[in-house]
Amino acid sequence: MSHRVAPHRIAIVGAGPSGFYAADGLLRGDPAVKIDLIDRLPTPFGLVRAGVAPDHQGTKAVARQFDKLLAQPTVRFRGGIEVGRDISWEALRAAYDAVVVATGMVIDRRLGVSSEELPHVWGSWRFVAWLNGHPDFRSGPDLGRAKRVAVIGNGNVAIDVARVLAKSADEMAKSDIGTEAGAAIAAAPLAEIEVIGRRGPEHASFTNNELAEMGRLARAVAVTDATALDAAVPATDPTPERLRKTKNLEILKGFAGNAPGSKPITLRFRFHTPAAALRLEDYDLVITCIGYGGADFPRGDGIFPVGWAKRGPNGTIPTNRADSHAVMQQLLAWLKDRAPKNAADPLPAAIDAAGWQRIDRAEIAAGAAEGRPRVKLTDWQSLLKVAKG
Ligand code: NAP
């Protein structure tokens, strides 16, 4: 007599892009495997919801692909469960055949100067989460008198932060920016935003499209000092990097020809300026966009980190697709000769995919009334109330 062997069960901790691409990789490799996508928030999608700038709706559209994974019968969303608080890592390891760690990076890296303790100095994690209506970051900086802003860092996060501050209310009208953040930025008396790099423009990690967009803003003129642009792209860089950096220098040369003050906001790119050379007190708001650190998690047999938890805070959403797929191939190979544990479900009560869909529908309906993609629920109480129907 033959009997069906129980499927393997995998926990993916963190329902952001790297976690969803891990689920996708597992399903492609073994459609029978059962997957629990666990997140501390009642909403899935991680940085797609809370990190991608709210005016980049094209990038956020990847969430629709992730929704399709949530509709698979072998995939369960388990929101509102914080591993370490509601269930231990050990309990997960004991009950699941493998645990994927897709927890990303959630701590702002420090500048290392004493003035970063001032209340007007914000890390980009906190600031971007506030822009995106994250329920743990409901209060933003005081923008009521913010004329002069420093954005420290030369990566795409710095670009996102400077752009969202610089855009007009009209330019943000079709975004899903948190309602309070949108109103605070529209009312702020912003006049000067500096994007500050500690090294030269030939080292900036901006991507070309993101940098070029800064030259097309309605109420802000992008400027820079031409003298810093007489720089050579490092010859040792791989070809795609050299092409990207050369194009960046061209774009910046275009900005150097613009007249400061020709629009209400001057958006200035400053280079060769380490934090120690700045007086943060001279600004009304400082946002540091200098990378992230992660929370600790156990390592060892049966634990498979992916995404930023594995690689550190670098790489765009598509980077995670190939990366998570490769790690899931390793996981499935590791699992191949292991008998399924077939343990009881260890998880406490959670928000499931239907609960998330109730939040999604409520937000989209609220957005439709304003001609926006969605108006986010930004407090835990409303999120849980709507999720539970
Ligand atoms: P990033 O590209 O690594 O940039 C971090 C920046 O911080 C670098 O310019 C770095 O300068 C600077 N920095 C680090 N420590 C510093 C310090 N103590 N003082 C001054 N500057 C310091 O990282 P990110 O901007 O956080 O972005 C993370 C990843 O997400 C990247 O892969 C990015 O492309 C991606 N992302 C993509 C998009 C998009 O596609 N639209 C949007 C947002 C983010 P040095 O080079 O000198 O170290």
- In tens, the pLDDT along 242-258 reads 999 999 999 999 999 99
Q: What is the pLDDT of residue 31?
A: 94
Name 11's Cβ contacts closer than 8 Å, sequence gap at least 6.
36, 38, 92, 95, 96, 98, 99, 100
Residue 194 and residue 185: Cα distance in Å, rounded? 16
Instruction: For a ligand 1 pocket test, name from 49, 121, 154, 287 the mutation site with the most ligand atoms within 8 angstroms of its C-beta.
Output: 154
pLDDT recorded at residue 2: 41
Where do we find the tokens 């809370």? 50
Give residue 305's pLDDT: 98
Which residue among 205, 245, 280 is best mutated to probe the pocket of ligand 1, counting the most ligand atoms within 8 A of its Cβ?
205
**Which phi and psi angles does 351 have, rounded to 5°?**
-85, 125
Ligand 1: residue of 52, 214, 290, 316 to mutate (most ligand atoms within 8 A of CB) is 290
Task: Retrieve residue 126's tokens.
Answer: 């906190």
Q: How far is CA 368 from the centre of its chain?
A: 25
User: Strand, helix or coil at 269?
Assistant: strand
- Measure 75 CA to ligand 1 centroid, in angstroms: 33
Which atom of ligand 1 lies at the shortest distance from residue 204's CA?
A: 9
Q: Is 5 exposed, middle or buried (0-12, 13-18, 19+ CB in 10 A)?
A: exposed
| Nearest by Cα to 231 from 264, 258, 269 | 269
> In Å, what is the CA distance from 262 to each residue of 18, 117, 185?
42, 34, 20
Q: Which pLDDT score is estimated for 267?
A: 98
Q: Is the C-alpha dihedral spanning 142, 143, 146, 150 positive or negative?
A: positive
Specify whether the CB–CB gap between 249 and 211 falls below 8 A.
no
Length of the chain: 389
Per-residue CA distances from 99 to 157, 301, 339 (Å): 30, 10, 15
User: Which CA distances in Å does 158 have to 164, 187, 197, 208?
Assistant: 10, 21, 10, 14
CB 263 within 8 A of CB 54: no
Return the residue whose CA atom lies nearest to atom 39 of ligand 1: 156
CA–CA separation, 23 and 68 (whole Å):
11
List the one residue out of 85, 106, 75 whose CA is nearest residue 11. Answer: 75
Q: In this predicted structure, what is the pLDDT of residue 6?
A: 87
- Residue 4: per-residue pLDDT: 59
- pLDDT score of 222: 98
| CA 278 to centroid of ligand 1, rounded, Å | 19
Rounded Cα gap, residues 144 and 289, in angstroms: 22
User: Model's pTM, two decimal places?
Assistant: 0.96
160 lines ligand 1 (CB under 6 A): yes
pLDDT < 70 positions in the chain: 1-4
Residue 387: its pLDDT value, please?
A: 98
